[in-house]
Amino acid sequence: MAAGSSNYWEDLRKQARQLENELDLKLVSFSKLCTSYSHSSAREGRRDRYSSDTTPLLNGSSQDHMFETMAVEIEQLLTKLTGINDKMAEYSSTAGMTSVNAALMHTLQRHRDILQDYTHEFHKTKTNFQAIREREDLLGSVRKDIESYKTGSGVNNRRTELFLKEHEHLRSSDRLIEETISIAMATKENMTSQRGILKSIQSRMNTLASILIKYPMIYSIIEQFLRFLLATEVLFSFSVILRL
């Protein structure tokens, strides 16, 4: 194998190892970020981010921004490492020596396994982080709904209280009106009864007067009888006084 080809292969391996080391460090930090994800700051950041459609990501949650930035960087490193592995595969297929090809293929397979492990770890961590964030979004939405319900219930309770007070006031007014009407009806009945009695007395007096006018003798007899009663009462009173 030519020295230039050997140097090319070693240069590819060097680039692959460098990218793998960078990916290893990035994935460790990425995993720690997912583990230490602060729910409260994330919710605050998302509220700020959702406050305006034109607000850039830097104005949102710092952790969300770190997540997005690190995810992009890791994806770029994975893309570069994939490109290096492709170049190594292309080189190993044209090396020309069976024994050398076997060693190159073994080395290439090891780098491919590392790339596959890093890719799997990245997608797993990214999925976990997004699941946590979606759960916090859902919990935040539920909390907002609960607060809205409490606020709405407070308003509704206030309205219900005012309605009940107004209803009780109307019922009190109705009771007062009913009592007033009852008193008025009773007064009317009493006045009607008294008017009937007065009419009856007046009718009897008129009847008696007409009889006395029509029959003067009866009037004379009644007059004498009344005088007799008066005289009898006077004599009785005088006798009582004498006995004392």
Please report whether residue 185 resides in a domain: no
Question: Pick from 10, 39, 2: which is nearest to 134 by CA?
Answer: 39
Band of pLDDT at residue 75, cut at 50, 70 and 90: very high
Please report whether residue 218 resides in a domain: no
The model's pTM is 0.50
Please report whether residue 49 resides in a domain: yes
Collapse the DSSP code of 167 into the 3-class scheme (helix H, G, I; strand E, B; otherwise coil) and give the result.
helix
- Mean pLDDT check: name the lowest of 181-185, 221-225, 233-237: 233-237
Please report whether residue 240 resides in a domain: no
Please report whether residue 172 resides in a domain: no
pLDDT for position 57: 39
Band of pLDDT at residue 129, cut at 50, 70 and 90: confident
Please report whether residue 63 resides in a domain: yes
The boundaries of the domain holding residue 147 are 3-160
Please report whether residue 28 resides in a domain: yes
Q: Structurally, how many domains does the chain consist of? A: 1
Residue 125 has pLDDT above 80, yes or no: yes
Please report whether residue 165 resides in a domain: no
Band of pLDDT at residue 47, cut at 50, 70 and 90: low
